Amino acid sequence: MTVALIVLAVEIALLIPLFVYMAITGISPVPTSRRARRAALAALPGRLDGTLYELGAGWGTVAFPLAQAFPDNRVVAIELSPVPCLFMWLRARLTRRPNLVIRRRDFLEQPLGDAGLVFVYQYPDMVTRLEAKFEAELSPGTPVVLNGCPLPGWAPQRTTEVNDLILSNLFVYRAPGRENPEADG
Ligand SMILES: C[S@@+](CC[C@H](N)C(=O)[O-])C[C@H]1O[C@@H](n2cnc3c(N)ncnc32)[C@H](O)[C@@H]1O
């Protein structure tokens, strides 16, 4: 009985913040599928310069494989929701990826001037906001990969329809010239 109560209390303690942050961010931490993740990694150049960002990293489905595939790059997994963050912190302790940094923060506040790659899986309104941020902050030519919905004003270099359960779409871009080079942080 006591164990059952403890399990129930832990479940509630994890579920409540999960749902609260889904309401705050407007999106659930649904992960990129394994096939989409593989297709995204396969679409990347063999060498990347700079910091690799996953904006809204969820459970680390993409950030951890990125850190493994690019051991010489710093990979920054940014996530606002505390439960997925906690999961990533525990996972990082077990897998020991020295090049992986997990940050609990709003990715809109993260300067991206040093980015060598940005990976995003967000909803259309947020993607539109991110497009303006990318135009202001990313160095020209920075690879940007989106799962789900495309950047409305950019032409993708490559589009991949993934044969997974939800028929994910991947969009691979290169950042255009910057409108506001002073936005680096
Ligand atoms: C659809 S999930 C994608 C998870 C992961 N990127 C993947 O592809 O497996 C979107 C994630 O973005 C996070 N998120 C949404 N808005 C955010 C923000 N402003 N700052 C940080 N994280 C955010 C959500 O909490 C959620 O975990």
Distance 119 CA to ligand 1 centre (A): 11
What would be the CATH architecture of the domain defined by 30-183? Answer: 3-Layer(aba) Sandwich (3.40)
- The owner of tokens 């999961």 is 87
Is-contact 32 55, C-beta < 8 A?
no
Q: Find the residues whose C-beta lies inside 6 A of ligand 1.
A: 21, 25, 27, 29-32, 54, 56-58, 61-62, 78-81, 84, 106-108, 121-122, 147
Of 19, 30, 168, the residue with max ligand 1 atoms within 8 A of its CB, to mutate for a pocket test, comes to 30
- Ordered per-residue pLDDT tens for the chain, 185 residues: 688 889 889 888 889 999 999 999 999 999 999 999 999 999 999 999 999 999 999 999 999 999 999 999 999 999 999 999 999 999 999 998 999 999 999 999 999 999 999 999 999 999 999 999 999 999 999 999 999 999 999 999 999 999 999 899 999 999 998 655 554 44
Is the overall model pTM greater than 0.95, yes or no? no
For 42, how many CA atoms within 13 A lie in the half-sphere containing its CB?
11
Q: Where are the beta strands (DSSP E) in 105-168?
A: 115-122, 143-148, 158-161
Nearest residue to 119 (alpha-carbon basis) of 172, 180, 175, 177: 172
Where do runs of H (alpha helix) occur along 70-174? Answer: 82-95, 124-137
